[in-house]
Copies of this chain bind each other. A is one copy, B any other.
């Protein structure tokens, strides 16, 4: 058998894998809570590695836990075509976000096995560690490391709330690999993903052609104050770090509303403080927030306002502020030729499709910094995601997965 325009993925096989995944790290009803480097993440990784080996892939794990499954090409010294996403989820996450991209890539490889088609270039499928940032901040930590944005040692030092570090947890679950993270340039990177927005579902369009990404700026901010009694201590002397962080998050939310008419969003994502107890002012706090806009100049303007809000919040609360970390992504980052190829395959396969931006963060954003990259979106019901109600029907999944199959083979055979 050879690869022809009639080739299609095996939807039932993919659905069965998604179902298996949906039983590991079960969260609220219908959802998952499979935080990066947790026991559930390990269980899912073990399952995925087994599936890769059954599909004849050569498995390797890098220093930050990224798992690669390699299928040899006819000219195996050529850089591989890479495709994948992530298997970790949010604390109240869904069964598709990230997972579809990894298991969809596995299905593409299995179908090539079924068809007996060996591509010119090697193919690699990948599961990136800690895409969500739900346990270790920032998100897309290990794809960022692969792309040379973050040093391995810094990644290993990232802390979780329970005092564990990324490195210690990686070691604990047995996924601290020996392969250097990154330092190589794939031929291209594809990522299949649910839209995480309402457009495709609302318009009943089958495939989303991702042309660009909302520009996003994220911040991790720390405030230092002083503990004191909540009763007698005069307002003028107070240095309550909890107040500083709350003022920042309200300021960030206000920025979101200011830019909402043009589609901007700003998020108060996280606040922790110490001691954070009744009867005492807190002397330490951290806040995580982000701003996003389709128009990069608006996004940059929003980010500038966040920096002003940090200083204003600190000053009002008598605290010191420090921006510990900042991350930026998005823009017109995807490869035009790859995007055109995806659009052309969607049409050729007879699917309805439309161009649209990606609003969420994705590992693809970091890969786009080192190699031609593109994303393919499936619809998801009502655009709901990062919620146990997240859902993509079989009919939502199949078209985009077939587009991935054909675009991937075109690229790998060229």
B-side contacts of A135, CB under 8 Å: 277
Nearest to A242 among chain B residues (CB) is: B268
Q: Interface segment, A57-65, A148-156, A243-251, A398-406?
A: A243-251
A313 to chain B, nearest CB (A): 9
B-side contacts of A236, CB under 8 Å: 260
The answer to whether A271 touches B292 (Cβ under 8 A) is no
Q: How many residues of A contact B (CB 8 A)?
A: 73
Partner pick for A246 among B90, B218, B250, B283, CB 8 A cutoff: B250
The answer to whether B249 touches A91 (Cβ under 8 A) is no
The 10 closest A-B pairs by CB, nearest first: A91-B275, A197-B232, A232-B359, A230-B267, A133-B278, A231-B360, A235-B260, A246-B246, A246-B249, A229-B386
Partner pick for A232 among B137, B232, B290, B385, CB 8 A cutoff: B385
Nearest to A90 among chain B residues (CB) is: B280
The answer to whether B271 touches A232 (Cβ under 8 A) is no
A residues neighboring B (CB under 8 Å): 90-93, 132-135, 137-139, 195-198, 214, 216, 218, 226-236, 240, 242-243, 245-247, 249-250, 253, 256-257, 260, 263-281, 283, 288, 290, 292, 317, 359-361, 383-387
The answer to whether A269 touches B265 (Cβ under 8 A) is no
The answer to whether B278 touches A288 (Cβ under 8 A) is yes
21 pairs across A/B with beta carbons < 8 Å?
Answer: A92-B227, A92-B275, A92-B280, A133-B279, A134-B280, A196-B229, A198-B232, A228-B386, A231-B265, A231-B360, A232-B383, A236-B260, A240-B253, A242-B268, A243-B249, A250-B250, A269-B278, A269-B279, A271-B271, A272-B276, A281-B386
Nearest to A247 among chain B residues (CB) is: B250
B-side contacts of A264, CB under 8 Å: 235
B-side contacts of A386, CB under 8 Å: 227-230, 279-281
Roughly how many angstroms separate A253 CA and B288 CA in the complex, as a whole number? 21
Partner pick for A270 among B245, B277, B387, CB 8 A cutoff: B277
Partner pick for A240 among B260, B267, B276, B384, CB 8 A cutoff: B267
B-side contacts of A290, CB under 8 Å: 230
Nearest to A267 among chain B residues (CB) is: B230
The answer to whether A229 touches B385 (Cβ under 8 A) is yes
B-side contacts of A276, CB under 8 Å: 269-272
Q: A133-B279, A230-B269 are in contact. List 13 more A-B contacts (CB 8 A).
A: A92-B275, A92-B280, A132-B278, A138-B278, A139-B279, A231-B292, A232-B359, A232-B385, A234-B263, A245-B246, A246-B271, A271-B271, A272-B276
